[in-house]
Amino acid sequence: MIDDPIITKDEVVDLYRKRARRYDFTANLYYLIGFREWAYRRRAVEALRLRRGDTVVEIGCGTGLNFPLLQEAVGPEGRIIGVDLTDAMLEQARSRVAENGWSNVDLVLSDAASYHFPAGIGGIISTFALTLAPEYDQVIARGSRALAPGKRWVILDFKLPANWLASLAPLLAFLTRPFGVRLEMADRHLWESIERYLPNSRLIELYGGFAYIAEGKRGA
Ligand SMILES: C[S@@+](CC[C@H](N)C(=O)[O-])C[C@H]1O[C@@H](n2cnc3c(N)ncnc32)[C@H](O)[C@@H]1O
C-alpha cells in the first residue's frame, strides 16, 4: 500500500519498553480527537458475553487497561489470562493486579504467535494489539479451536474506512505510529479471519469506520 517498513518484533518490544510507564496516560490522549476509547473497550468486553466464573484470555493485554471490565464480567470466581510480548508492559499489569488485590489473574510473557490457548475457554479478547502480529490469522484460528462451544473471540482495533474518509489514512497512521502501527498493517483484515474460523460473526464499525469491533462465536 505504502512504502513504510513493517516493524519487527524486537522493535515492538523496544518501543513498548519505552512507552510502558506512560502507556495509560498516552493511550487516553486519543480522547482529544474524539475517540471514545473507554466506550469502545466496554462494548468490546460486553460483546464477549462472559459469565461469572468464565476464564478469559486477553492477547496483547499490555498494562491491563481492560482488566477492571473483565473482572466485572467474570467475577472473583473467574480467571483472566493476560498474554503479552513485552516484559515492561506486563510489569505495569502486575502492579495493577497487586494494587487491586486480584488473585485470579495470570500474566504470561509470550508472543501471541507461539501462545498455546488452554482448551475450553470462555472468551478471547484483543484490543489494539493483535494487528501488530503478522501471524494474526493463525492466532485467531488457534484461539477459535480453544473456545468452548457458544463462546466468543472479540477484537477491537483501528482500520481504514471504505469511503472517502480513507484519504485521512496518513493522519491516522501518524497518530498511531507511536504505538507501532504502520499504514501497511491496514492490509491485515482480522475481521476476515474471525469470519473464516467462526461463521457466527459480526463486524461493527466505529469512529467513522476508522475502528471496529469484530466478534465471532464458536458453534455449539
Ligand atoms: C497498543 S498496546 C495495547 C495494550 C492493551 N491491549 C490495551 O488495549 O491497552 C499493544 C500491546 O500489544 C503487545 N504486542 C505486540 N505484538 C505482540 C505479539 N506478537 N504478541 C503478544 N503481544 C504483542 C505489545 O507488547 C503491547 O503491550
- How far from 199 is each of 3, 116, 194, 213, 218, CA to CA, in Å? 34, 22, 8, 16, 8
Average pLDDT over residues 89-109: 98
Q: Give the mutation target among 132, 139, 185, 190 for probing the ligand 1 site: most ligand atoms within 8 A of CB.
A: 132
Does pLDDT of 185 surpass 90? no
pLDDT of residue 165: 67
Q: Considering the entire predicted model, what is its pTM?
A: 0.93
Q: How far apart are the two ends of the chain, measured CA to CA in Å?
A: 39
pLDDT of residue 1: 41
Residue 28 grid coordinates: 487516553
Q: What is the DSSP letter of 177?
A: G
Q: Which residues are CB-contacts of 120 (< 8 A; sequence separation ≥ 6)?
A: 146, 147, 148
Q: Which residues are CB-contacts of 113 (< 8 A; sequence separation ≥ 6)?
A: 133, 134, 135, 138, 139
* Residue 192's pLDDT band (cuts 50, 70, 90): very high
pLDDT of residue 5: 67
Find the 84 Cα to ligand 1 centroid distance in Å. Answer: 6
Predicted confidence (pLDDT) per residue in 30-67, tens digit? 666 667 888 999 999 999 999 999 999 999 999 999 99
Strands 211-217, 147-158: parallel, antiparallel or unpaired by DSSP? antiparallel
- Which domains can be identified in the chain, with CATH numbers? 9-217 (3.40.50.150)
Average pLDDT over residues 166-195: 81
Cβ < 6 Å from ligand 1: which residues?
Answer: 12, 16, 27, 60-62, 65, 83-86, 89, 111-113, 127-129, 132-133, 179
Nearest Cα neighbor of 155 from 187, 190, 180, 120 is: 190
Distance from C-alpha of 51 to C-alpha of 18, rounded to nearest angstrom: 36
CB 146 within 8 A of CB 60: no
* Residue 4's pLDDT band (cuts 50, 70, 90): low
* Residue 160's pLDDT band (cuts 50, 70, 90): confident
**Side chain identity at 217, as an amino acid letter?**
K
